[in-house]
Amino acid sequence: MGSALMSIGTRAMTANYAKLQTISNNISNANVAGYSRQDVLLETSKGQFSGAGFFGKGVNVVTVTRSADKFLTAESATTKATASMDAARLGALQALENVFPTGEDGVGYAASQFLNGMVDMASNPQDLSARQVVLSRASELAARFANAGVQLDTLQAGVNADLKTSVDSVNQIAANIAGINQEIAKVNGVGHSANDLLDQRDQLISQLSQFVQVTTLPAEDGTLGVFMAGGQRLVLGNQATPLAVAPDPMDSSRSAVGIMEAGGGLRLLSQDTFTGGEIAGLLKFQNQDLVDARTGLGQMAAAISARVNQQQSLGLDLRNPPGSGAPLFSVGPPTAGNASTNAKDASGNFLAGVSLTVADATQLEASEYDLAADPANAGQYLLTRRSDGLVRSIANGATVDGMTVNVTGTPGGNDRFLLQPVTRTVNGMKTVLSDPKGLAAASPVAATANVNNTGTAKVDSLTVVSAGIDPARTATFTFGAANGSGRDYSWSLFDPATNTTTTGTGTWQAGQPIALNGFELQLKGVPASGDSIVVAPTEFPATNNGNALALAALRDEKMVGRRTDAYGNVGGGVTATDAYAGVMSGVGVAVQGAKSAAQISAGVADTMAQQLASKTGVNLDEEAAQLMQFQQSYQAAAKVLQVAQQVFDTLLRAAGA
């Protein structure tokens, strides 16, 4: 009897001691990240049968369990990945926002000030100081564009560095998970869970979710397979597959992330493979937000420089003798590159190539393009505009969106080309005219109304619109009978070089210019029958301001983002200042959207973390209460042993008597 009682007491003391030990361990690790509360699982020992029935034999310690919830653990990791992705993109976007300052520090203000300087030059075209102001403002505008390009390059370099750091962290964590998998597999056969190792592995999965979103798949040996979206394996058993950062095959200045294959090669992964984590946020910023900012600024710089240079070429400068205006700006050229995977010859040279030329800078789109052979039409190419996904089949040498595409060689079926008509425009923008006399303020032709005219028509403006103008020719317009709301006119054009005169007729309408010989004549008022106006070579170019006024008018011209409709008409577009406002507001909207997304995803992640902690974490109040409870239980078990000892001693004395 005493022996059975002592056995029960011993079992009770062992069970209660195990409880006290586990509770103490919980209290010790209450503030350790990733620790899951542990508990001792007890069971009643099988009773012993006797003639009087079954007598209990105490309690057994079955195992030590951990508080775990697979669903909450997985959801917490997923929401953490989303929050990390949104936070990474928000941080990068906030840095991008600094490239587009508002007010006087912005590119839009500099463009407006430059074109406003043309007004001062028009007021006094002979004033060299007014001309010097124009050149200074042109230099400031070019410098702001170029500086923005440098800042965008710096942001890209930062993304490249951050991606490498994140990938290094992923590889280290994946290797640690593989190592813990191996340790868990070793002890898996003993029939008990390695609770501390499981906690460490869950914590590593949580850390990994900061960089990439993963899914897990348990194996029979206790190991855990870790996969990215699309089923890309990161960890399987005790083997980890490393990631690596490499230059993007379409643009080496950007980064792509790939996975190392068994043979040692690197297989690049699509951006869509990364659905969460810092890497996903950085890739989205690089491939979407940063490209939008670059192409938006590039489109604006290309249009402004081209239109200013074009208008410059239509005027006369202040040199002696006067000549056509030289270009004021130069910009970075359009680029087209082969994918690094395109077919090559035995010497390593690409078998095919693409070149771009700008046909009309005012029609360039704020976008990059993909080009590939059209499998459905031999000799044709599929051109995909990345900004909106528009796909068109074009012929070699076609002009699309203001650019002309020329393909050399024969592209293979898998060859891909990246076209960047405006991506690098701002990086090369600078002023190339330093002589203030080189500004073409004068128009090569001037209009004069006959002093004997009886109508109210006066010359409102005379604008040279074509480089094909022959300023030596003299045009005479003579108005005749009324024609509806307008008036018919006849014109003659005298060419002194050949001593010939050409003639023709037309109808003038109020508000509509008269176009001839590369110029447009705008009238205000109404001409009378017999009135005449002569457009002749400018007699005194030094005092003429016709082209300066045309340059100043570019401030209000919708020169950025024009498009050609189905009928061949060119229209639409925005002014230079509106174009900058559009790019700046686009970045601002992206920042606000990212900020909202980051706040929401961070809130969801915090909520899931709290739910997981409430399920698996240590409650010190509860543990303290249990500590007192099992302390008393331990003391009671010790009392059982004391009683058993006394009973045993009594039996011994009785037997001895």
Whether 123 has a pLDDT exceeding 80, the answer reads yes
Whether 1 has a pLDDT exceeding 70, the answer reads no
Predicted confidence band of residue 144 (pLDDT cuts 50, 70, 90):
very high
Domain endpoint, select from 537, 561, 585: 537
Domain endpoint, select from 503, 537, 571: 537
Largest CA distance in the chain: 160
524 within a domain of the structure (yes/no) = yes
Domain endpoint, select from 537, 552, 577: 537
322 within a domain of the structure (yes/no) = no
149 within a domain of the structure (yes/no) = no
Which residues constitute the domain of residue 460?
445-537
Mean pLDDT of the chain: 90
Whether 163 has a pLDDT exceeding 90, the answer reads yes
Predicted confidence band of residue 537 (pLDDT cuts 50, 70, 90):
very high
Q: Which residue, 576, 422, 584, 423, is CA-closest to 96?
A: 584
Whether 301 has a pLDDT exceeding 80, the answer reads yes
State pTM to two decimals.
0.86
pLDDT at 240: 93
**Sequential DSSP letters for 569-583:** -EEEEE-HHHHHHHH
135 within a domain of the structure (yes/no) = no
581-584 own/partner pairs: CB under 8 Å, 24+ apart = 581/108, 582/296, 583/100, 583/293, 583/296, 583/297, 583/300, 583/366, 584/100, 584/102, 584/106, 584/108
Calpha distance 350→339 (Å, rounded): 10
10 within a domain of the structure (yes/no) = yes
Query: How does pLDDT run across 230-269, given as a tens digit for each residue?
Result: 788 999 999 999 999 999 999 999 999 999 987 778 889 9
177 within a domain of the structure (yes/no) = no
Predicted confidence band of residue 650 (pLDDT cuts 50, 70, 90):
confident
Phi, psi angles (nearest 5°) of residue 240: -110, 135
Angle at 454 between CA 453 and CA 458, to 5 degrees: 60
Predicted confidence band of residue 467 (pLDDT cuts 50, 70, 90):
confident
pLDDT at 657: 57
SS3 for 457-525, per residue?
A: CEEEEEEECCCCCCCCCEEEEEEEEEECCEEEEEEEEEECCCCEEEEEEEEECCCCCEEECCEEEEEEC
pLDDT at 457: 93
pLDDT at 566: 77
Query: How does pLDDT run across 408-452, given as a tens digit for each residue?
Result: 988 988 999 999 999 999 999 999 999 999 999 999 999 999 999
Query: How does pLDDT run across 368-384, given as a tens digit for each residue?
Result: 999 999 999 988 999 99
* Least confident window among 96-110, 180-194, 484-498: 180-194
pLDDT at 130: 93
More confident residue, 390 or 49: 390
Query: How does pLDDT run across 326-347, given as a tens digit for each residue?
Result: 999 999 999 998 998 899 988 8
| Range 208-221 average pLDDT | 92
* Least confident window among 40-49, 251-260, 350-359, 517-526: 40-49
| Range 586-606 average pLDDT | 94
pLDDT > 70: percent of the chain:
99
487 within a domain of the structure (yes/no) = yes
pLDDT at 2: 53
415 within a domain of the structure (yes/no) = no
* Least confident window among 79-83, 135-139, 181-185, 264-268: 264-268
| Range 266-294 average pLDDT | 93
* Least confident window among 1-10, 27-36, 391-400: 1-10
| Range 151-163 average pLDDT | 96
Q: What total number of domains does the chain contain?
A: 2
